Structure 1
Amino acid sequence: MTYDLLIIGGGINGCAIAREAALHGLKVLLVERDDLAAHTSSASTKLIHGGLRYLEFYDFKLVAEALRERERLVKAAPHIIWPMRFVLPHGNAVRPWWMVRLGLYLYDFLGGKMTLARSRGLRSSDAAYTAPLKGGHKGFVYSDAFVDDARLTVLNAMDAAANGADVLVGIAVESARREDGVWRATLSDWRTVEARAIVNAAGPWVHEMLGSLGVNAASNVRLVKGSHIVVPKLYEGDHAYILQQPDRRIVFAIPYQGGTEIGTTDVPVERPEDAQIDDGEIAYLCEAANRHFTKQIAPGDVTSTWSGVRPLYDDGASEAKEVTRDYVLELDTNGPALLSIFGGKITTARHLAEEALGKLAAPLGFRAHPVTRARVFPGGAITDFPTFLTQVRQTWPFLGEKRAERMARAYGSMLAEMLAGVQSEADLGSDLGGGLTELEARWLHDREWARSPDDALMRRSKVGLHLTPAEHDRFSQHWAALFG
């Protein structure tokens, strides 16, 4: 079979490009050797943000672009992306007050017309923001947004598939060569496919994949590990904190799954497989939080962790924290086109995909035009989430308060399709663990490409974060009985 576009890699960039290409009417095949968002794209800080700290490195173009995308994304997926207020305390500050205030003014200015609340100074009335902190009331408040990163990746793939793209998970591209005016690729399931162009969106493995394609790249990536920890709740409220550190880095503290997420680190690594948190990173993040919060934590308080290796474009910066988060798209037209993706961030993936289609337009002979700027994601047809959640609880009261909120957040307006004809809890089928029922498991398997228990528990639903090892094992047994 011949495709217009073969996309290698099911992270956020690959899935966003698949969505953009399918909506242009191209015949698309996306191939992911593991799971969608199995690596870097499910290991982010869970933020849609402009990147306040990038202003310090004069990366104004990236910040402006990211802020425009933030505005689009909070409208396009209100079930999995929502505005969040960030408190920036000035205690332990390594930057003067005026510099931070000026940076926030610039942040607001670069955001242009936006629906999110603008920045301001902390007030004496901000007790909810200041009570958890050491050192008084001086500081600032500004806005960014939270995102379920793995689900955003999956929703891109779902929209691509709904518009004709083929998505294969658990299958790798073993090799590909330019032959007779097309790419001829061999997949790990022994099939051979042809494509008029390839997109190499393999993330940290982008250079390894280029070797498999027999191509040398002019650009390079710098692999930087970012690790996060989760601890029992450090404060009440749905706001977050951005904490300045003595090494001039910043660390976020964010409400997450009933606890507090703290991250991230920036540690250079040699291999993509080095995505494992170490004791030094755990200690660093605990100390980062302890400098600012009255409630102190220790490594023994950590309930879960995650690490991802970010494939940053190598711009020659001397320190990992200074490496640009912008992306470079390298187009090779020495025969059938090959587009390689270097760098990028989850906030700008849609814009990256739009630019990628622009580069592929001439080699593939089509006219590229904006197709996703105002397009909602699957499940995103919601005008007001609190109202939607109330309707969900009234329509399906047997879900219970917590499960109704989890499922409303995960599936949004798709929940009506999932629960069509469901009149009682019995209609959901067996509870496989943590409230995830047989009906929901079949949706995840049949509609969202979940192939293993962890695909369903850790990336699609996050239910696994609340299961004991024994409960996780029982879920795995149920999953095997259902799907083999």
Structure 2
Amino acid sequence: MEHDNALPPFSSPRSVKIEKMQQLTATPVVIIGGGINGISTFRELALQGIPVIMVEQGDWCQAASGALSRMIHGGLRYLETGEFSLVKESVQERDRLLKNAPHYVHPLRTTVPIDGWSGGLINAGKRFLRLSERPSRRGALIIKTGLSMYDLYTRQYGSMPRHELNGQSATRQRWPDFAHWVKCSATYYDAWISAPERLGVELINDAEQANPQALALNYVQLIGSDGENLTLLDTLSGQHFTLHPHVVVNAAGAWIDRLNRTLMQNHPGKKLIGGTKGSHLIIRHPQLLAELNGEMVYYENQEGRVCIMFPWYGNVLVGSTDIRIDDPDNVVCEAEEQRYILESLRFVFPHFTVDDKDVLYTFSGVRPLPASDSEVNGRISRNHSLVLLPPEAGRDYTTLCLVGGKWTTFRKFGQQAADKVLKLIGERRKVSTGDMAIGGGKDYPQPERKAKWIQQVSQRTGVPIERLSQLLARYGTLAANIATFINQQPEPDGNLSQLPDYSRNELRYLIQREQVEALEDLLVRRTPLAISGQLTLARVKELAELLGDELGWSTARTAEHLETTLSRLASLHGLTGLYPLHASEGVSHVSNP
């Protein structure tokens, strides 16, 4: 823990990064795509001292990396498809995240409701032997076998408690509102992540602080390649850059194939990605929340598709769907998907009345799965792979494509990609990230030491103990930096009038030090305000004014940006109650002309 009141150095302001980019002509590595796999690769290379450049056409973790089920899991269901190496890797990386990011990744007790003992035995054997792809419901014997195997990996590579199989009496005692078809249940442990998008930003900031030559810029788009140089566009300022790379890492996720067509004039047309769309709902339902009581229910719908529900910031997260999709742009949770998810919930808890009016927020993303001929989406591998496209006539640089992957294993995938890049540019690994804490997970106090940590930082910064406790819960040990910033910066207006749990300086810190360039970045990715159902029109307006003031926008520009944000929140996340904004409800004057 820091013992003085000086703030540590932070990533250069955007203007400084843009200036550095303009001065560059050649660079060893350019990563295109700022989802979690691109970010992980960037971090791995930056920590080896490589002057790597990463660009993202939107915001960090804006697409699939911000639309995950919020689980960090060992891949229990991959045992059924024989992907044992993926389960091993997932269990190892899950436990690394519990250790390296304890401020955001937490154990999650999970219950599986089961309708009988012997169901699904024949079909499970066929699926394991690749003789059938048809999903079906699984009985207690199959689930018991799978969890016993899972325990072997957990004991060898992880640290979670063993599973338990619960009979009907014990199941009913714990879950009195389960449907009548539930005859028994199984309980095991995995993990969940409270702020995945924030973790992505912290990985970037850690990398840039360790290596000032490494640059990461959001809202920069690849618009062309002549086979030797890349042409990049800063979509915020309209400025262009030209870079000559030795290696291009294609980390565009669901857009990999589209990006390859831009990178390669003679692109062979081989399809690498066969994405599927997954949609989720955030539901406000006090009875269901009380029934869950901090646990996740991991259940099979009537047709055998696996779904989940667990507590989320005082509400309930439920999902998901799995639909083949060819166009990954602007995917949304469609009405029939919402209907499917609500029906699946009622299948498990038929006594609860849950309908459309209880849905606070929706989100949807495209899983960047490898291209597959499988007739069942759930059977497509969740493993990751690297596809190397060497230089050819008309293209001087090597392209490395990051195909597939899942959130839990991002560090390992980034490590593998970085090692391949290091070999291509003639460098060697100097630093391992296996035991490296991330962002606010550094020096994170154990439960019995939290009170002392909070007291010490409070005494040093002058920020009250109650407020520091809140900051620690939100940002981990980065709370000390934020408290120092709050104490050093004049804050005559203190907390936000519409959102008193947040202070203006807290949000100013995020804007200045976490590359916030749009209101949506702040509402959806740097804070949980949108996904936790805390947004009102008045709150969004107040935050728009704060952002506009901080970024030097005019009143007109702030108002226009607010209108665009409200429209996007309505179309992408179902927040129709915030839109349209009537002329009489426009933003008030901001101090910058």
Give, in whole Å, the separation in 2 of the partners of 1:83 and 1:369: 32
Aligned AA for 2:324? P
1:199 aligns with 2:249: yes
In the TM superposition, what is the alpha-carbon distance from 1:127 to its structure 2 partner?
Answer: 7.2
1:442 aligns with 2:508: yes
1:291 aligns with 2:357: no
Q: Is the CA contact 1:85–1:142 (under 8 Å) kept in the aligned structure 2?
A: yes
In the TM superposition, what is the alpha-carbon distance from 1:36 to its structure 2 partner?
Answer: 0.5
Secondary structure of the equivalent of 1:133? coil
Please point out which of 91, 109, 112 is paired with 1:67. 91
CA pair 7-174 structure 1, distance change in 2 beyond 3 A:
same
Give, in whole Å, the separation in 2 of the partners of 1:379 and 1:88: 33
1:52 aligns with 2:76: yes
Give, in whole Å, the separation in 2 of the partners of 1:331 and 1:429: 54
In the TM superposition, what is the alpha-carbon distance from 1:122 to its structure 2 partner?
Answer: 2.7
More strand per residue: 1 or 2?
Answer: 1
In the TM superposition, what is the alpha-carbon distance from 1:393 to its structure 2 partner?
Answer: 5.8
Secondary structure of the equivalent of 1:31? strand
User: How big is each residue's C-alpha offset from its partner over 1:140-182, in whole Å with a ceiling of 9 and x where there is no partner?
Assistant: 1111111122122112211221122211111111123433xxx
Aligned counterparts, 1:238-249, within 5 A: 238-249=294-305
Give, in whole Å, the separation in 1 of the partners of 2:485 and 2:416: 42
Partner of 2:423: 362
In the TM superposition, what is the alpha-carbon distance from 1:311 to its structure 2 partner?
Answer: 1.3
Give, in whole Å, the separation in 2 of the partners of 1:370 and 1:119: 36
Please point out which of 105, 108, 118 is paired with 2:148. 105
Please point out which of 276, 282, 291 is paired with 2:338. 282
Aligned counterparts, 1:176-187, within 5 A: 176-179=225-228, 183-187=229-233
Give, in whole Å, the separation in 2 of the partners of 1:425 and 1:399: 16
Give, in whole Å, the separation in 1 of the partners of 2:210 and 2:227: 27
Secondary structure of the equivalent of 2:386? strand
Partner of 2:39: 15
Mean Cα displacement is larger for which, 76-85 or 230-239? Answer: 230-239
Partner of 1:473: 541
Mean Cα displacement is larger for which, 386-395 or 132-141? Answer: 386-395
Give, in whole Å, the separation in 1 of the partners of 2:465 and 2:174: 31
CA pair 409-193 structure 1, distance change in 2 beyond 3 A:
farther
Give, in whole Å, the separation in 2 of the partners of 1:400 and 1:461: 21
CA pair 128-413 structure 1, distance change in 2 beyond 3 A:
farther
Q: Which has the larger radius of gyration?
A: 2
CA pair 103-116 structure 1, distance change in 2 beyond 3 A:
same
In the TM superposition, what is the alpha-carbon distance from 1:348 to its structure 2 partner?
Answer: 0.9
User: How big is each residue's C-alpha offset from its partner over 1:352-411, in whole Å with a ceiling of 9 and x where there is no partner?
Assistant: 11111222222200123661111000111245454465456655597686x656532332
Partner of 2:104: 80
Mean Cα displacement is larger for which, 122-131 or 96-105? Answer: 122-131
Aligned counterparts, 1:79-228, within 5 A: 79-91=103-115, 94-111=137-154, 112-122=156-166, 129-135=174-180, 138-147=184-193, 148-164=195-211, 165-179=214-228, 183-188=229-234, 189-214=239-264, 215-216=267-268, 218-228=270-280
Partner of 2:125: none
Q: Is the CA contact 1:227–1:307 (under 8 Å) kept in the aligned structure 2?
A: yes
In the TM superposition, what is the alpha-carbon distance from 1:244 to its structure 2 partner?
Answer: 1.2
Aligned counterparts, 1:327-366, within 5 A: 327-334=384-391, 335-366=396-427
Partner of 2:369: 312
Please point out which of 476, 483, 486 is paired with 1:412. 476
Partner of 2:523: 457
Mean Cα displacement is larger for which, 216-225 or 349-358? Answer: 216-225
Q: Is the CA contact 2:485–2:505 (under 8 Å) kept in the aligned structure 1?
A: no
Partner of 2:289: 235
Give, in whole Å, the separation in 1 of the partners of 2:251 and 2:208: 18
In the TM superposition, what is the alpha-carbon distance from 1:430 to its structure 2 partner?
Answer: 3.6
In the TM superposition, what is the alpha-carbon distance from 1:279 to its structure 2 partner?
Answer: 1.2
In the TM superposition, what is the alpha-carbon distance from 1:95 to its structure 2 partner?
Answer: 1.0
Aligned AA for 1:412? G
Secondary structure of the equivalent of 1:371? coil
Give, in whole Å, the separation in 1 of the partners of 2:303 and 2:172: 28
Please point out which of 530, 533, 550 is paired with 1:482. 550
Give, in whole Å, the separation in 1 of the partners of 2:548 and 2:92: 44
Partner of 2:358: 301
In the TM superposition, what is the alpha-carbon distance from 1:302 to its structure 2 partner?
Answer: 0.9
Partner of 2:580: none
Gaps of 5+ in 2: 1-23, 120-136, 554-593
Give, in whole Å, the separation in 2 of the partners of 1:105 and 1:285: 29
Partner of 2:579: none
Aligned AA for 1:339? L
Q: Is the CA contact 1:185–1:194 (under 8 Å) kept in the aligned structure 2?
A: no
Secondary structure of the equivalent of 1:37? coil
Aligned-residue CA RMSD (Å)? 2.5
CA pair 391-314 structure 1, distance change in 2 beyond 3 A:
farther
In the TM superposition, what is the alpha-carbon distance from 1:299 to its structure 2 partner?
Answer: 2.1
Q: Is the CA contact 1:331–1:359 (under 8 Å) kept in the aligned structure 2?
A: no
Secondary structure of the equivalent of 1:57? coil
TM-score w.r.t. length of structure 1: 0.92
Give, in whole Å, the separation in 1 of the partners of 2:149 and 2:431: 28
Please point out which of 20, 28, 32 is paired with 2:56. 32
CA pair 359-144 structure 1, distance change in 2 beyond 3 A:
same
Please point out which of 257, 260, 266 is paired with 2:316. 260
User: How big is each residue's C-alpha offset from its partner over 1:59-102, in whole Å with a ceiling of 9 and x where there is no partner?
Assistant: 22211111111011110000011111101111387212110000
Secondary structure of the equivalent of 2:198? helix
Give, in whole Å, the separation in 1 of the partners of 2:300 and 2:433: 36
User: How big is each residue's C-alpha offset from its partner over 1:109-136, in whole Å with a ceiling of 9 and x where there is no partner?
Assistant: 1232422222112366677842342346
Aligned AA for 2:224? S
Give, in whole Å, the separation in 2 of the partners of 1:425 and 1:361: 42
Give, in whole Å, the separation in 2 of the partners of 1:44 and 1:385: 28
Mean Cα displacement is larger for which, 3-12 or 388-397? Answer: 388-397
Q: What is the percent sequence identity of the aligned residues?
A: 28
Give, in whole Å, the separation in 2 of the partners of 1:421 and 1:332: 46
Q: Is the CA contact 1:290–1:297 (under 8 Å) kept in the aligned structure 2?
A: yes
Q: Is the CA contact 1:175–1:187 (under 8 Å) kept in the aligned structure 2?
A: no
CA pair 162-131 structure 1, distance change in 2 beyond 3 A:
farther
Q: Is the CA contact 2:38–2:251 (under 8 Å) kept in the aligned structure 1?
A: yes
In the TM superposition, what is the alpha-carbon distance from 1:272 to its structure 2 partner?
Answer: 0.6
Aligned AA for 2:281? I
Q: Is the CA contact 1:333–1:363 (under 8 Å) kept in the aligned structure 2?
A: no
